[in-house]
Every structure is written in C-alpha cells, then in structure tokens.
Amino acid sequence: MKEISYTKITGFKWYSLSIAALLLLVALLPFSTGQYYLQVFTVAFYYVILASSWNLLAGYTGQFSLAHHAFAAIGGYTSALLVTNFGLPIWLGILAAPLSSALMGFILGMLCLRMRAIYLAIATWAFAESVRITISMTYEITRGDLGLAVPKIFPGIGQGVAYYYLFLGLAAMTVLVIMFIIRSRMGYYLRAIRNDEMVARVMGINTTRWKILAFMLSSGIAGIAGAFYGHYNGLLTPVMIDFNEMAFIVIMVVIGGIRSIAGPVIGAILIELLTETFREFGEIRMVVFALAVIAIARLYNEGAVGAVRQGAQWISRRKQAREGVN
C-alpha cells in the first residue's frame, strides 16, 4: 500500500514535527491577522471539511458524488428550519443536520450504488439541481432565493476569533476521523473497492454495503459542515447549491492532491486564499483554476501533496546516495 509505506520513507519524525509546527502556526494566526483574513480562513476551514469528506468518497472509494454541496445545504437548511420554526436550541439543530443528509445519502445510495459508479454521479447531479429548485420554489418555508435568516452560534459582532477556532476544531476533527477511517479495516475495504470492485467482491467484501456507508458518512459530514456554516454565516440561499460550488470542491481536491489526507486540506486553504486575494480578477481566477486542474489530471495525477512527497523522496534518496559514497 503506497499510502502507508511513504511515512516510512520520508521519516515519521520529520513528518510529525512539521505538522506540529504548522498546527502551532495555525492556532496562533488570529493574533497576527485582521478580521478579514480571519473570515477567509474560517470559510477555508469549512471547505477543508467538504473537500476532505468528498475525497473520502471520490478519492478513496472511487464513487463520484456530484451533490456534496447539496448535502451541505440540506444540513444547513435542516438545522436552520428546525431552530427557527420549532424553537430548538442550535446544538440540537446541528445534531439533526447530519442525520437528514445521511438519510438522503442512504436513499440515493440504495438506489444507485448497486450499479456502476457512473450512475451515482449522474443521479447526484440531477439530485443537486432538484434540491436547488425545490428550495427555491418552497419559498413559504425556505424563503427561496431571498435567503433564510439563520440565528448565529455566537451572537453579536466581532466574534471572528471564536468562529475561527470553532471551524479550525471542526476541520481538524474531520481530518482525524477520515484518517482513522482510512487506516481502519473499512479504509482497506474502500480502497479495495476503488482498485477493483469485482475482485473486492470475490474477496468477500459486501461492496454495496460499504459504498453506501461511505456515501452516508461523507454526506453526513457535509451536512454537519453546512449546518455550522449556516449558523456562522447567518444566511442560507439556494446559491449554495450552484454547480460552481461543487466544481470548487473538485478543484480543491485535485489541486491539493486526490487520495491523500493532506491534499484536500492544502487544496482548500490554498484555493480559498487565492480566491480571496485575487478578488479583483473576477472570473479569470476560475479559468486559471480550471486550467490547473486539467493540467494536473492530464500530466501529473497527485497534485501539490504528490509533488512535495516526490520532492522529499528525491532529497532523501540523494542523501542516502551521498552517505553511501562517503
């Protein structure tokens, strides 16, 4: 298994040390940047959650869901509607969000995942558009395109730091959970399904069941992210289910490096930062991102993480060679 063995090659100590340093940097960041970039990072962490959970499904399991943004929106609307219409406390609403997203994922998965992977992609594409239309049209409940006002978790202004740490914690937890899943027995099943579903089935893995579970998990995580996002942003609109959002997630995962834990994290933060920094360039940013994704997919499959990994391997090989000569 490539994913396991590379930690041995690059050296576990070096790896964990650099991650610790990075975490320290991220934890101390609110003390050195203004409110604006604090918000940018908060949104970036939201995308880290979405990108990582999509990578679990698309990267590791090989099942392309094109409704990940829609599941986030379902979570967001579920929590917001429960809180505003039934007076539930916010934390209960947020708890209900992944349940409704995962339930939708379960129904769709039951119908599509018995088939080839392409069925899930098509059905989720149509699902996302249908959800968008439904939310726009049921304006008596969701206020449609006007947008639904959502109570905030931390009321009042100037709570940027609190939201920053909240989303940082959520993103870190998501990444840890996904890391745990990938290294567990389930992770091996999922990768086996991606590599060759027929062989996996012959080996006695109930592929449909594991695929549905992975889809539910990934949709559920998106639901949590969406719920928190709604209570952070204070406004939910059907624009959240524009296909551009989904494309954004794909761009983040591919540029960061599909099928790696760090890839979606790096990709999400990088792309969100670039998007905000080069705001005045408008649509040109998306054109550049799209070209970058095409180039990466076409020429070099592993994204930023793969490049760093290969660089590290190259350096350590050089070092070994030099030591060998001496």
Residues in contact with other proteins by the rule CB under 8 A: 58, 62, 64, 66, 111-112, 114-115, 117-119, 121-123, 125-127, 129-130, 133-134, 137, 243-244, 246-247, 250-251, 254, 258, 282-284, 286-287, 289-291, 293-294, 297-298, 301
Q: Whose Cβ is closer to other proteins: residue 73's or residue 258's?
A: 258
- C-alpha span between 283 and 138 (Å, rounded): 31
Shortest CB 68 distance to other proteins, Å = 12
Rounded to a whole number of angstroms, the minimum distance from the CB of residue 54 to other proteins is 12
Least Å distance between CB 155 and other proteins? 35
Contact 214, 194 (CB under 8 A): no
CB of 2 to other proteins, least distance (A): 12
Cβ proximity to other proteins: between 138 and 184 the closer is 138
Nearer Cβ to other proteins (112/227): 112
- To other proteins, the closest distance from the beta carbon of 3 in angstroms equals 15
Of residues 84 and 208, the one with the C-beta less far from other proteins: 208
Q: How buried is residue 320: exposed, middle or buried, by Cβ count under 10 Å (0-12/13-18/19+)?
A: exposed
**Residue closer to other proteins, measured from CB, 176 or 287:** 287
